[in-house]
């Protein structure tokens, strides 16, 4: 608790951030401050880059492998076009949509993460996960899951019911 008549801690921190922002006046100071900011957030930014890279790899990889396999088997790409209807063309189209969706997701995620990480580094506050209790867990026996199936989230319950009907134990 702050003594009476003093400026609250939150307000002082906010004023310090605003003061830091005011110090950056010219182009040289802006470049210097931006490189300093990148150096301070290097480890977190590197982890975020790996995350975005995995998104792109997971969505672009299947298309690249399918394209490579089509080339190896001698698929005739001259037949690709608006009227093409064979199975390979359909799969390549579907994988291309997955690739486009993955690039869009990576673009949005990378921008949001960069803003959050650089803003946190600028303010001197680390970006952390608040709900760490949800990160703990372990594999459960199917019988244990069946006992609490009515309390599961919708998608989890649907998946469990499907696997249960299929006899997967």
Place of tokens 């900011």: 37
Looking at the chain, the whole-number percentage of residues with pLDDT higher than 70 is 73
The count of domains in the chain is 2
31, 54: one domain? yes
CB-neighbour burial class of residue 138 (10 A; exposed 0-12, middle 13-18, buried 19+): exposed
Read off the pLDDT of residues 113-162 as tens digits, 9 standing for 90 and up.
888 877 777 777 777 766 566 666 778 888 888 888 888 888 888 888 88
Count of C-beta atoms within a 10 Å radius of residue 164: 14
Residue range(s) defining the domain that contains residue 74: 9-128
| Separation of alpha carbons 4 and 48, rounded Å | 43
98, 29: one domain? yes
pTM: 0.53
Residue 23, pLDDT > 70, answer no
E strands, 27-168, where?
none
Read off the pLDDT of residues 55-71 as tens digits, 9 standing for 90 and up.
999 999 999 998 898 88
């Amino acid at each position: 608790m702050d003594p009476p008549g003093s400026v609250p801690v939150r307000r002082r921190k906010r004023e310090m951030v605003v003061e830091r922002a005011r110090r950056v006046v010219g182009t040289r100071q802006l470049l210097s401050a931006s490189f300093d900011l990148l150096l301070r957030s290097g480890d977190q930014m590197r982890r975020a880059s790996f995350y975005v890279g995995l998104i792109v790899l997971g969505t672009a990889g299947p298309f690249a492998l399918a394209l490579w396999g089509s080339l190896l088997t001698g698929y005739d790409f001259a037949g690709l076009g608006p009227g093409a209807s064979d199975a390979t063309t359909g799969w390549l189209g579907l994988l291309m949509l997955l690739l486009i969706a993955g690039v869009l997701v990576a673009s949005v995620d990378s921008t949001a993460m960069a803003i959050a990480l650089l803003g946190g580094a600028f303010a001197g506050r680390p970006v952390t996960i608040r709900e760490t209790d949800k990160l703990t867990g372990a594999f459960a026996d199917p019988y244990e899951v069946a006992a609490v199936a009515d309390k599961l989230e919708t998608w989890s319950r649907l998946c469990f019911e499907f696997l249960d009907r299929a006899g997967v134990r």
